[in-house]
Amino acid sequence: MAFSDDFLAEAAKVLSGISAADLEKAAALLAGVREDGGRLFILGVGGSAGSASHAVNDFRKLCGMEAYCPTDNVSELTARTNDEGWETVFAEWLKGSRLRPEDGVLVFSVGGGDLERNISANLVRAVLLAKERGARILGVVGRDGGYTAKVADVCVIIPTVNPAHVTPHTEAFHGVVWHLLVTHPALKVNPTKW
């Protein structure tokens, strides 16, 4: 079999392993945020930051949700990194946004963060703040052992079918998950152009 055949077969296995029940819980959580007049803050690092930015557009345009992504403001992101450190950049941004219980925090991540191993500590600090403030937390992650999966109100796990491809599969399926959510009848209020 060629590499492409293998990769696509793995992707089919990933897709079949995503929990539809967790997706329904995620849609209900997000609908609750909107109904309560909350805002949605979407966080991601690396490729997941790109997913977060794209998802903000879709939640705003298709779902009528007030949504934001701190990595969209590179000036503030780099100023906070320079002055306060990378580890606290998202938590401090959320404090500046006056994160409150009506709000939601959506984390896109491969691992979900791990303070002990100093992996995506900025996501962990943001999730800790969200818990402290009573905001709802949704994760879409590729590993069930990270901090986000352990503490989120709802976490959609992108199953690992080949450890060598956990990052590309997870980041690819971030898009599948958020596109499912913005199309979900509980959330979608505006039509797509095509």
List Cα–Cα distances, 151 to 107, 110, 148, 177, in angstroms.
12, 16, 6, 19
10-40 residue pLDDT tens: 999 999 999 999 999 999 999 999 999 999 9
118-162 residue pLDDT tens: 889 999 999 999 999 999 999 999 977 789 999 999 999 999 999
- Please give the domain boundaries of the chain with CATH numbers for all domains: 3-183 (3.40.50.10490)
Torsion of CA 176, 177, 178, 181, to 10 degrees: 120
What is the model's pLDDT at position 194?
A: 87
What is the model's pLDDT at position 81?
A: 93
Q: What residue type is assigned to position 142 of the chain?
A: G
Q: Is the pLDDT of residue 114 over 90?
A: no
Strand partners, 109: 141
* CA 130 centroid distance within chain: 13
Q: Is the pLDDT of residue 1 over 90?
A: no
pTM of the model: 0.95
Under DSSP, the state recorded for 114 is: B
Do 159 and 17 touch, CB atoms closer than 8 A? yes
Can you read off the two tokens belonging to residue 21?
Answer: 């029940």
**What one-character-per-residue DSSP string does 26-57 give?**
HHHHHHHHHHTT--EEEE--THHHHHHHHHHH
The residues, any chain, with a CB within 8 Å of residue 106's CB and separated by 6 or more, are: 30, 40, 41, 42, 43, 52, 55, 138, 139, 140
29-76 residue pLDDT tens: 999 999 999 999 999 999 999 999 999 999 999 999 999 999 999 999
